A and B are shown apart, each in its own frame.
Chain A
Amino acid sequence: MTALRALIAVAGCLTLAACAEAPLPPPEATLDNIQAVRAGNLPPLRVGAFTAAPGKPTEMDKSVAVRAGVQPAPGGSFAKYLGDTLAADLKGAGKLDDSSTLVISGLVTETHLDSAMQSPHAALAAKFTLIRGGVTVFEKVLRVESSWDGDFMGAVAIPDAFNHYTGLFPKLAAALFADPDFQAAAHPR
């Protein structure tokens, strides 16, 4: 990162720096989230549909932009990326079952990224729904946010912002797995 900053400054002496973001690879399971699934003793789950909430701008689901940088959503949808993140964690914990009658789905209600130098921050929220055998047993909006130190150099600030934004997806998954209402609803009664 420090070396990158030096090289960017070198480039700045020659021209403006261009900002292009590589496509995001598939999400990876994290130890904290697997441990959260284990701690909640969750039964096997199927991951259902994850989409942008009705009435929200479709652009917010397709890409996020910071200054001159644009991060396209993997597979064309950040909501789907949230579902894939949940699936990665559940799979990592051995709790992903495509034939389960317990289905978690979600509507992304908020996605926000701002790289303002003084107070860069990002937020992600979704309304999660857990359905067992066709009956809704859990419905809740969960929200996570992040803030970090700003940087005036776009070529540093832009990837920083995207890293923090994409870091919200496992963070939101963690919030769901740790939610006591979700854990209670996930267990058969």
Chain B
Amino acid sequence: MGGIIRLTARGAVAWIARAFVALALIGWAGTASAAMYIGAGLTEVKAEDRAVVAHPQPVQLLFVFQTKGAPNAAATKFVKQMVTDTVKASGAFSEVSDAPTSNGAILSVVINNVVAPKDMSDAEGKGVLVGATFFIAGTNVVDHYIGSVDFVGGPTSPKISKSAQQILITQIGLINSAPQNAVKVGGIKPALAALVNQIVGNPLNDVAKDPGFQMADNAGAAASTAAAAPTTAAAPPVTPTSAALTPTASPTMAPPAEEHH
């Protein structure tokens, strides 16, 4: 019995040692040979295309990162600041905060890392090939993302929803060719920053251009003016009419990049 326990303990130590070596190798590989590309079909919002918001109002920002539709708390924490920066840079809001705002406006952003089952099995096969050849044989692995932006201008306002899709391509191994229809973006952090900028910035711009958003914008400005000058006539309701509702999303599709082996 004691022998078994000692053998198991030695096995565990050996296993941990192998795990450390593997992680070190992955870390090295990630630094030395992994490159990131982003789909060329979707770009960041150009200055001339940016929605003009005459009277930006404060908004409460909610964000969730999902993996295959399930909330991924760790990734949410990692990406949240990037999303906040993108929303602030849009100029669509006077203030962006986690807390409720006086007008009750909420902007909800969801980024979902979706995977087709075929991509999963392909990825595994490619990974085995790269590992078996000690990073000599290279491959490109595609991750798909859907960015959804929902906005409500107040407690009883209709929801405006827009979305966009984008891909990130991870190139691993030494011998590889650049994927087509994709732009090189460096390592994982700049890739994520570019992804967030595009996949949140574009649907957010679509939201800001929506007639329902513009009505909420105008009503919010009127309410602010009335609040600043209480002796004037009553402010109009801050809730836009349902006629301004845009209930369905109009996804901005990014064409898939070709994979090279």
Residues of B within 8 A of A16 (CB): 15, 18-19
Chain B CB within 8 A of A185 CB = no
Which residues of A1-36 have CB atoms within 8 Å of chain B's CB atoms? Answer: 1-3, 5-18, 22, 24-25, 27-31, 34-35
Q: Does A72 contact B (CB under 8 A)?
A: no
Chain A neighbourhood of B72, CB < 8 A: 159, 163
Contacts of A8 in B (CB 8 A): 124, 127
User: Is B208's beta carbon under 8 Å from chain A?
Assistant: no
Q: How far is the CA of A160 from the CA of B66 in the complex (A)?
A: 10
Q: Do A13 and B21 touch (CB < 8 A)?
A: no
Chain B, residues 134-176, CB within 8 Å of chain A (1/0): the string is 0100010111100000101001100000000000101010000
- Count of A-B contacts judged by CB separation below 8 Å: 150
Complex contacts, A146 vs chain B, CB 8 Å: 70
Closest to A171 in B: B71
Within 8 A of B (CB), among A74-121: 91-94
CA distance A12 to B143 in the complex (A): 20
C-alpha spacing A6/B141, complex, angstroms: 7
- Distance A76 CA – B241 CA, assembled complex (angstroms): 47
In the complex, residue of chain A having the shortest beta-carbon distance to the beta carbon of B122: A2
Task: Provide the bound-state CA to CA distance between A92 and B106, in Å.
Answer: 9
User: A6 touches which one: B63, B66, B71, B172 (CB < 8 A)?
Assistant: B172
Please state if A5 and B120 are interface contacts (CB–CB under 8 Å): yes
Residues in B neighbouring A24, C-beta threshold 8 A? 73-74
| A40: min CB distance to chain B, Å | 12
User: Are B19 and A15 in contact, CB atoms less than 8 angstroms apart?
Assistant: yes
Task: Return B246 CB to nearest CB of chain A, in Å.
Answer: 16
Known: A10-B26, A34-B106, A164-B70. A28 touches B62 (CB 8 A): yes
Cβ of B189 under 8 Å from chain A: no
A32 to chain B, nearest CB (A): 8
Among the interface residues A1, A13, A22, A94, which one has the most CB atoms of the partner chain B within 10 A?
A1
Judge whether B71 and A163 touch: CB under 8 Å: yes
Given contacts A1-B113, A93-B100, A163-B67, are A11 and B143 in contact (CB under 8 A)? no
What's the tally of chain B residues with a CB closer than 8 Å to chain A? 59
Give CA–CA (A8, B131) in the complex, Å: 9
Q: Is the CB of B117 within 8 A of A149?
A: yes
A-chain residues with CB within 8 Å of residue B132 when the two chains form the complex = 13
Q: Does B22 contact A (CB under 8 A)?
A: yes
Query: Could you write out 11 A-B pairs with CB less than 8 Å apart?
Result: A5-B124, A6-B124, A7-B170, A7-B172, A9-B125, A11-B26, A13-B128, A14-B21, A15-B22, A28-B64, A166-B71
- Partner-B contacts on A (CB < 8 A): 1-3, 5-18, 22, 24-25, 27-31, 34-35, 38, 91-94, 146, 148-149, 151, 153, 156, 159-160, 163-164, 166-167, 170
Given contacts A2-B122, A15-B21, A34-B62, 15 further A-B contacts (CB under 8 A): A2-B123, A3-B141, A6-B126, A7-B172, A9-B126, A9-B131, A10-B127, A13-B131, A14-B22, A28-B62, A30-B62, A31-B108, A148-B70, A166-B73, A170-B71
Top 10 A-B residue pairs of the complex, sorted by shortest distance between their CB atoms? A9-B127, A13-B131, A31-B108, A3-B170, A6-B127, A15-B18, A10-B131, A163-B70, A94-B100, A6-B123
